[in-house]
């Protein structure tokens, strides 16, 4: 699933291409994509793009008269920039949004249709799509800690809860916890002051590093190849490969459709976490 750094890269690239441009035409090929009935897609046509906003893992495009297109890409949804009027020719092509400068194409790989598009009017309707997680770049350490200790959960689960923290998913949570040298099984209400400071600093620095890196990699091009498994990551997707810090093999726990990657030497005192017990803790909501 595209997370904060990927969504931020998408938002920046979209803004460069369509800010101040009229939305000429909306073409929706997958009926399941659109989750709202009013306003209709036809009401957006001819209106000018005024703002691009990130709402957690969603991308919101604001047009005249406070109308908004809000995308949630979920796991397999991706955005692409194509020549104006690009055809919706493949099974994975869900929708196209035509502008004078080109066409924004929404695709989704696989057979499951999880990506969503909401068309809403007004600030109140837009707020309803915000799960409520705090922005780690604007909050204080005290707020960060208070939010994550509202309930006593594993730190991996708390970091990836969109109601608590804005925009973090499975991949970057693994990277953050490795940078902070914390076990994904650590319970939020049992962490020390030093651990909270390490987690707060690692969350900010990890996300900022990847936001800057992805924008640099795009370098004026539209982001393609968005994935949860990136070269340069320390632990996520690197099962059995050496930890870049200590050389110990990366361990993995699989649960549901996700996995947690961590370095036992750096994060758990050399202990390999029990697959079954961690899976229960991470899945229980």
The CA-atom distances, in angstroms, between 191 and each of 139, 140, 155, 241, 283 are 19, 17, 9, 28, 21
**Contact yes or no for 39/26 (Cβ under 8 A):** no
CA distance 265 to 269: 5
CA distance 37 to 29: 16
Q: Rounded to the nearest 5°, which phi and psi values hold at 29?
A: -95, -25
Is the domain spanning 141-283 CATH 1.10.8.50? The answer is: yes
Its sign, for the CA torsion 157, 211, 250, 266, is: negative
Q: Is 280 exposed, middle or buried (0-12, 13-18, 19+ CB in 10 A)?
A: exposed
Closest C-alpha to 185, from 230, 216, 153: 153
**Contact yes or no for 28/95 (Cβ under 8 A):** yes
Query: What interhelical angle do 4-18 and 193-218 show, nearest 10?
Result: 40
CATH number listed for the domain at residues 4-127: 3.20.190.10
Q: Would you state the pLDDT for residue 279?
A: 55
Domain ranges of the chain: 4-127, 141-283
CA distance 40 to 73: 20
Residues facing residue 43 across a β-bridge: none
pLDDT in tens, the chain (285 residues): 799 999 999 999 999 999 999 999 999 999 899 999 999 999 999 999 999 999 999 999 999 999 999 999 999 999 999 999 999 988 999 999 999 999 999 999 988 889 999 999 999 999 999 999 999 999 999 999 999 999 999 999 999 999 999 999 999 999 999 999 999 999 999 999 999 999 999 999 999 999 999 988 888 899 988 888 898 999 999 999 999 999 999 999 987 778 899 999 999 999 998 765 555 555 554
Its pTM stands at: 0.92
């Amino acid at each position: 699933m595209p997370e904060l750094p990927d969504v931020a890269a998408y938002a920046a690239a979209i803004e460069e291409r369509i800010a101040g441009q009229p939305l000429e035409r909306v073409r929706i090929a997958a009926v399941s994509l659109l989750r709202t009935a009013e306003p209709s897609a036809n009401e957006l046509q001819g209106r000018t793009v005024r703002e691009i906003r990130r709402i957690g893992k969603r991308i919101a495009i604001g047009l005249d008269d406070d109308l908004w297109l809000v995308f949630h890409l979920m796991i397999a949804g991706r955005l692409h920039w194509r020549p104006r009027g690009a055809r919706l020719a493949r099974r994975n092509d869900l929708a196209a949004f035509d502008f004078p400068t080109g066409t924004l194409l929404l695709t989704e790989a696989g057979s499951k249709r999880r990506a969503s598009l909401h068309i809403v009017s007004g600030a109140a309707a837009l707020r309803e799509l915000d799960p409520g997680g705090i922005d780690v770049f604007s909050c204080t350490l005290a707020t960060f800690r208070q939010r994550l200790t509202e309930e006593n959960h594993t730190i991996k689960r708390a970091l990836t809860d969109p109601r608590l923290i804005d925009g973090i998913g499975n991949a970057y949570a693994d990277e953050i916890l490795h940078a902070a040298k914390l076990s994904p099984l650590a319970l939020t209400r049992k962490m020390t002051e030093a651990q909270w400071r390490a987690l707060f600093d690692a969350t900010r620095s990890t996300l900022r590093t990847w936001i800057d890196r992805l924008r640099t990699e795009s370098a004026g091009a539209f982001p393609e190849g968005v994935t949860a498994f990136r070269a340069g990551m320390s632990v996520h997707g690197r099962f059995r490969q050496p930890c870049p810090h200590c050389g110990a093999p990366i361990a993995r726990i699989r649960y549901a459709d996700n996995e947690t990657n961590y370095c036992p030497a750096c994060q758990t005192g050399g202990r390999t976490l029990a697959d079954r017990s961690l899976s229960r803790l991470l899945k229980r909501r």
